[in-house]
A and B are shown apart, each in its own frame.
Chain A
Amino acid sequence: MKVSYRWLKESVATDLSPKAVADRLTNAGIEVAAAAPLVSGLSGVVVGEVEAIDKHGVCRVATADRHFTVVCGAPNVAVGVRAAFAPPGAALPGGQQVQTTRKRGVLSEGMLCSEKELGIGDDADGILLLAADAPLGSDLVTSLGLDDWILEVEVTPNRPDCLSVVGVAREIAALTGAPFRFPAIAVKEGDADIVALAAVEVEDPDLCPRYAARLITGLTVAPSPPWLAQRLRAVGLRPINNLVDVTNYVLWELGHPLHAFDSDTLAQRKVIVRRARPGERLTTLDGQERELAESMLLITDPERAIALAGVMGGANTEVTAETTSVLLESAYFNPASIRRTSKRLGLATEAAYRFERGADIEGLREALDRAAQLMADLGGGTVAKGVLDVYPSPRPHPRIPLRLERIQRVIGICPPREEVVRILQGLGFAVDEAKEPPDIVVPSFRRDVSMEDDLAEEVIRVWGYERIPSTLPGGSLALVRRPAALRRAARVTQALAAAGLSEVITYGFVDPERLRLLGWDPASPELMTLRNPLSQERSILRPSLVPGLLEVVATNRHRQIPDVRCFEVGRVFRSGGPDGLAREEARVGIALTGLRASRAWYAGRDTVDLHDAKGAAEHVLASLGVEEYGVRASASSFLEAGRSGELVVGGEAVGWFGELALGPQEGYDLAGPVFLAELSLDRLGALPPRRVRYRALPRFPAVQRDVAFVMPQALAVEEVESEIRQRGGALLKSVTLFDVYAGKGVESGMRSVAWSLTFQADDRTLTDEEVNALHAAIIEAVTKRFGIAVRGMTPEGG
């Protein structure tokens, strides 16, 4: 909310500069986001009078002692008006220097300016007209009060009282000790009694605890006087006419929303406050016809709805240029009800904003009186005698006992008692010191204060948070470390980063079309779909990390980064969790594409393949201490057939790896093959922990023998290797597959696979004869069992 510094000074006599006031407010929790001069760069503009206009639109403009010839085509220029005039040499905002220029063949000495040109409003359609008694030739900045500052106040939802000049002024007074002055309000009433002229009935006091109205008659609608128009413009409001502007003025000054009905349009001049009836409709001031729900509170007359209570008026009773009498409403509506109505209709208005935060149920009378008198003054009307005020159960002021020990305990420090009392009184609280502890009486405009700790906050924020001592909590020692799930995630993250992969973090929302591309059914009840997504492309919670990783690969490819080796650790979501929530599972996903190693003079130019994905998955398992696992072929909707496998630990699948199928690869517009893997960190975490035991170092020498078999492509190395191990027995300490070769010299459909075997005994040095015999036995067993041949043998000394 924009607040004018000059306006504030009418209610608080502070000597502080606007910047200092802003700082003080911010430090007390009323955040001032910006404080800036109302206009800058404006100088030399004065009050001028248009003395004559010829038929070509050339005006003669008079100031105190001079006459100027000015070309002006504005629609509202007329003989006799006083207006903002920038003679040659004047400066306008934006750095414009006014000069004598040739316009339409005439030398124009300066210009008559619009609001927009002066930088004080948005109206560019006509020149800014001034009061008829504005002193000729006087400086515009001083005569319009433009030497002002605007504070941009950001009021938190608990402080609707600060959505007003008076509210902010009260804070400043409490914070600085400067005297606070509430505007003097007195109504000059006419003879006619309102009771005879109008009536108010509240059928639903639960939603409208108080409704007050006054009647003003004999009004003439006209433009607001310049002081009022300027004050509204300064805070970003557009002047409309004297009646509407008064309600806005009082809204800004006192913070209470008012509504003016053209009372001649009301049936029987009677207002009935009630809930909407089934099927009832209302055309609001914005011209929209709205269908009303039965929970919504309406202002009606005996025949029809005339306003959406606290949200927006109806078009049928609007104040127009012909209006001569006004029924002015000042009411208190139930905040939750206003909020529901406003949300439901998507109608966020200045009035609803305040009512849903809580208006001042007592202050509404002052707002009513203030506005009624201003309307009468500005519109030349009369305020009828009396007020129609329906307030069946007046709300008591809460009384809260305040213990200074409580402040000390919660805050860690407490100001002296006199200081506490002074602060609370400054904020408008009454202090009943006859009680011990003293009772604090909460004013009606502070609905946010309902308990002792609220008062503690009031005291300490005014006294100054900077006075709170900085201490550290005591207490006993407790063991703290990261929980297992976080340690697991950290270990995997570190391992993959150390292995050359880059960690990524993605939004986690998935496009149903992309899911379809990957072979999921986006309508599956397993998936969790947002009711109110930002867009369709981000409407489903990820059931896998794959879609996000593919987006990363695609993004980088489009930025000319073809080689991507990345991973993400995060949760995936399925429906059917506890208490209607999700089944959330922590996973790690891996995506590899392009070159295996960053380009360098020593690096190879190999591209990644399926075994890189498998290797990365194995690396994850190893980082979590899982050494025993199996692989089984698996089918997947988005991986190439025959190029994907499941990783199995203890009979349970813990993850998979594979090559992205061509369909999705093209769907994501990816250049080359992408190899993927995904493992469940939760499932891996549920496995029994590995117990690490030391094995004694060998005391006798090892003997190494290599062997290569020429075997069919279809025969799995795993099978051959397990035969080797089995036949090798206890003396075969390790088996390492070190070469796979197919091509020249090897029959097509076959490949040569070479293993290095290490033999070693725990209790003696093996003889060559022993090793040779065992090696031969292994070869015989393998060749016999699989019908394959040895390619070659290179015995090496041990």
Chain B
Amino acid sequence: MADKRASEILKGARGEAARAKSSADLEQVRVKYLGRQGILTQFLRSLSSIPVAERPEVGREANLAKAEIETLLGERLAELKAAERRHALESQRVDLTLPGRRPSPGTLHPLTLVQDEIIEIFLGLGFAVAEGPEVESDFYNFEALNIPRDHPARDMQDTFYLSEDVLLRTHTSPMQIRIMKAMRPPLRYIFPGRVYRRDIADASHSPVFHQVEGLAVDRNISMGDLKGTLELFAREMFGPRTTTRFRPSFFPFTEPSAEVDVRCFLCGGEGCRVCKQSGWLEILGSGMVHPQVLRNVGYDPEEVTGWAFGMGVERIAMLKYGIDDIRLFFENDLRFLTQFA
């Protein structure tokens, strides 16, 4: 007659596992059957006391029962845990609409964002970057740039003076002179920085603003190269479909000179308030470095040619973001500053 104890133990365990209501209950079932003092453990231990002939058969059944109990406990445990987890989530509902815990980073000034973008584009075109003094001499700011005293061109830039010969630079162009005096061609540079004009602040004027100046001097560099470079810049800055216009103008330190306009992207060229009905937005001034300026720094205009350009960072930022009052950049109202990051 076969030994039925193993199958009875298995039956008991199956029943108790099914009745367990929680993973904690189930653990107790596990201990009861499989623990050190568990029923099955003890039964296995007692095998040595049964007749040798029956031993292999009973032992096999006992081990099968053990494996089966382990499996059914495992399955039941998974069931219970899933149920418990479900229950826990249901009882602690989360409001998915509650705002997330966000890190609160600060903001970069829009002028910094735009200036960085300009610098980035020209770095990509192989222009090095240099900075110069904001307090400049009359020589570098005017004389060396072909703007003598008593010349009407000085009216184009109202100037803050610190003394007879020392002033706040009115443009970044003095860096053209400083770099050309310090280096030999070929040169390819941009000069970002603050500049100052004695203009009363209003929606379109500011006594302080920022420029990025560019300069390239080489043996054979033409106005065509200037045009191509600035068109590339405009498309990179304002989008690939940007249309540009090169228009003659006058700067004392370039000859020929050109103003660069982009097609008004608000009206598409039809004419609107922002472009003053012209369909074009002026973005920068440029030109071939005046031969006299080259001579002023000891270059031979028959040997090298060069071009330069200068743009206002505020102007570009105003166009890019649709800002209609330049004073906003310097008021630093946090509700303004936090719009650009």
Using CB atoms and an 8 Å cutoff, list the residues of chain A in contact with chain B.
Answer: 26-29, 31, 33-34, 156-159, 335-337, 339-340, 356-357, 409-413, 451, 453-454, 456-457, 460-461, 465-466, 468-478, 480-483, 485-486, 490, 493-494, 496-509, 528-534, 538, 541, 552, 555-556, 559, 561, 564-566, 570-571, 573, 577, 579-582, 584, 597-598, 600-602
Contact = CB atoms under 8 A, between A and B. Distances in A.
B160 A532 contact: yes
B137 interface: yes
A790 to B, nearest CB: 37
Given A409-B305, A453-B288, A506 B332 contact: yes
10 contacts: A339-B151, A412-B224, A460-B223, A468-B223, A472-B228, A480-B128, A481-B129, A500-B104, A503-B106, A505-B111
A496 B106 contact: yes
B155 interface: yes
B133 interface: yes
Contacts of A475: 126, 186, 188, 218
Interface string B326-341: 0001111111011001
B231 A470 contact: yes
A472, A509, A555 — which one has the most chain B CB atoms within 10 A of its CB?
A: A472
B186 A532 contact: no
Contact of A469 (B130, B224, B257, B276): B224
A108 B104 CA distance: 73
B289 to A, nearest CB: 10
Contact of A531 (B163, B200, B330, B335): B163
A340 B150 contact: yes
Given A27-B247, A505-B329, 15 more contacts: A29-B250, A453-B290, A468-B227, A469-B227, A470-B227, A486-B131, A498-B105, A502-B334, A508-B208, A566-B332, A571-B134, A571-B194, A580-B163, A600-B101, A601-B99
Given A453-B288, A507-B330, A584 B250 contact: no
A482 B126 CA distance: 11
B225 A504 contact: no
Which of B101, B129, B222: most chain A Cβ within 10 A?
A: B222
A528 B135 contact: yes
B90 interface: no
A427 to B, nearest CB: 13
Interface string B30-50: 000000000000000000000
Nearest to B159: A532
Contact of B106 (A413, A476, A498, A538): A498
Interface in B243-296: 245-250, 252, 255-258, 276-277, 288, 290-291
Given A472-B228, A508-B194, A582 B135 contact: yes
Given A157-B156, A465-B258, A471-B222, A29 B248 contact: yes
B234 to A, nearest CB: 11
A243 to B, nearest CB: 29
A-B residue pairs, 5 tightest by C-beta: A412-B224, A29-B248, A412-B222, A457-B256, A156-B250
B198 A532 contact: yes
Contacts of B227: 412, 465, 468-471
A538 B218 CA distance: 42
Contacts of B247: 26-27, 29, 31, 465
Contacts of A561: 333-335
A506 B111 CA distance: 12
B135 A577 contact: yes
A410 B288 contact: yes
Interface in B107-140: 107-109, 111-112, 116, 119, 123, 125-131, 133-137
A564 B290 CA distance: 48
Interface residues of B, number: 90
B137 to A, nearest CB: 6
B225 A473 contact: yes
A534 B109 CA distance: 25
B166 interface: yes
A158 B229 CA distance: 27
B207 interface: yes
A311 B221 CA distance: 44
Interface in B78-107: 98-99, 101-102, 104-107
B24 interface: no
B256 A453 contact: yes
Contacts of A496: 106
A555 B149 CA distance: 40
* Majority-rule SS of B interface residues: mixed
Given A412-B225, A472-B229, A477-B126, A504 B109 contact: yes
Given A468-B246, A584-B135, A411 B223 contact: yes
B109 A503 contact: yes
A505 B109 contact: yes
B249 A29 contact: yes
A527 B112 CA distance: 28
A507 B245 CA distance: 33
A503 B108 contact: yes
A156 B249 CA distance: 8
A506 B152 CA distance: 31
A480 B207 contact: no
A503 B135 contact: no
A581 B256 contact: no
B123 A481 contact: yes
A411 B136 CA distance: 32
B174 to A, nearest CB: 11
A625 to B, nearest CB: 21
Contacts of B188: 473, 475, 478, 480
A499 B108 CA distance: 11
Contacts of A483: 129-131
Contacts of B104: 500, 597-598
Contacts of A474: 220
A46 B220 CA distance: 66
B71 to A, nearest CB: 36
Contacts of A413: 224
A24 to B, nearest CB: 12
Contacts of A490: 116
A476 B186 CA distance: 9
Given A410-B305, A531-B162, A480 B127 contact: yes
Contacts of A566: 106, 332, 334
A478 B223 contact: no
B332 A472 contact: no
B29 interface: no
B152 A356 contact: yes
Give the residue among A33, A451, A503 with the most B Cβ atoms within 10 A. Answer: A503
Nearest to A160: B152
A564 B337 CA distance: 12
A132 to B, nearest CB: 41
Nearest to A583: B135
Given A471-B228, A530-B161, A532-B198, A412 B223 contact: yes
Contacts of B222: 409-412, 471
**Residue from B116, B134, B156 with most neighbouring chain A CB atoms (10 Å):** B134
B109 A411 contact: no
Nearest to A358: B152
A580 B165 contact: yes
B237 interface: no
Given A480-B128, A496-B106, A559 B333 contact: yes
Contact of A470 (B134, B224, B301, B337): B224
Given A357-B152, A502-B107, A531-B162, A556 B332 contact: yes
A490 B117 CA distance: 13
A461 B248 contact: yes
Contacts of A531: 160-163
B106 A502 contact: yes
B166 A580 contact: yes
B216 interface: yes
Contacts of B221: 473
Contacts of B106: 496-503, 565-566
Interface in B313-336: 329-335
A581 B337 CA distance: 33
